[in-house]
Amino acid sequence: MSDMSNLETDGVYIATDGLSYDYNGVTAVSKVGITVAKGQIVALIGANGAGKSTTVKMIAGALKPRTGRVLFGGRDITGMPAHKVVQQGIALVPESRLVFRHLTVLENLQIAGHLPRSRDRMKDSYDHVFQLFPRLYERRAQHAGSLSGGEQQMLAIARGLMTLPDVLILDEPSLGLSPLFVGEIFKMIRKLNQEGMTILLVEQNVHHTLAIADRAYVLEKGRVVRSDTGRAMLADDAVKKAYLGMD
């Protein structure tokens, strides 16, 4: 408990304490504690199956933790269902994008923009996301299923932004994209952060990620094994060896 009171300090947005999750009795995440401060980019890195996605799904309410707590701006949101968490101001852009393929680009955005917290400013939100992704504006009347992978990723992020979140969680945004798009996505993440958005980033593209992260956590087999600033980790030989494939 004393730990938690430490975490509830000014500027800390998201804090988790002792989060654990099992899939059919197999431990996926064990006692994970991370903090995200306002205005930061915080990264979760680690190998496939390390428990990164499971952790952010628990934060966003898509999974119910077995044990542990999730605090958001000091409020306990543990176990709150996903549709209520997003209303609180946390938007998760899920792994593999999950756009509504049979809805048009515009309809995808409309759905997300209809939240009580974002409804009144829907027009501004459109302007914002179309300015950020002019390509989506060109394709607004097309079915989302007809977009390229990169465009679908843009749409997924734009859809998250339509909810006017305080924190944007991006789960593997660069997965399966061409190098050109990967660069664009990271540029966009940095830009959003400069506009004031707090970002929790789950990535396998460790090099790009650490370059922009204020803070990073390394997950291994469901546990946090290391945390430090992005810069410090990028300089760390052990991290380099394990995740960047450099000797």
Q: Which member of 111, 122, 188, 211 binds other proteins (CB under 8 A)? A: 111
Q: Which member of 12, 19, 91, 185 binds other proteins (CB under 8 A)? A: 91
Q: Does 92 bind other proteins (CB under 8 A)?
A: yes
Write out the H or E segment, with its range, that includes residue 35.
Answer: strand 35-37
Shortest separation between residue 14's beta carbon and other proteins, angstroms: 16
Q: Which amino acid is at 205?
A: N
Q: How far apart are CA 13 and CA 193, in angstroms?
A: 14
Binding mask 47-86 for other proteins (x = CB under 8 A): -------------xxx------------------xxx--x
Q: How far apart are CA 14 and CA 3, in angstroms?
A: 14
Binding mask 143-162 for other proteins (x = CB under 8 A): ----------------xx--
Closest by alpha carbon to 134, among 165, 110, 105? 105
Q: Does 103 bind other proteins (CB under 8 A)?
A: yes
Go through the chain and tell me how many residues it has.
247
The beta-carbon contacts of 233-236 under 8 Å, at least 24 apart in sequence, are 234/207, 234/210
Which residues contact other proteins by CB under 8 A? 60-62, 81-83, 86-87, 91-92, 94, 98-103, 107-108, 110-112, 114-115, 159-160, 163
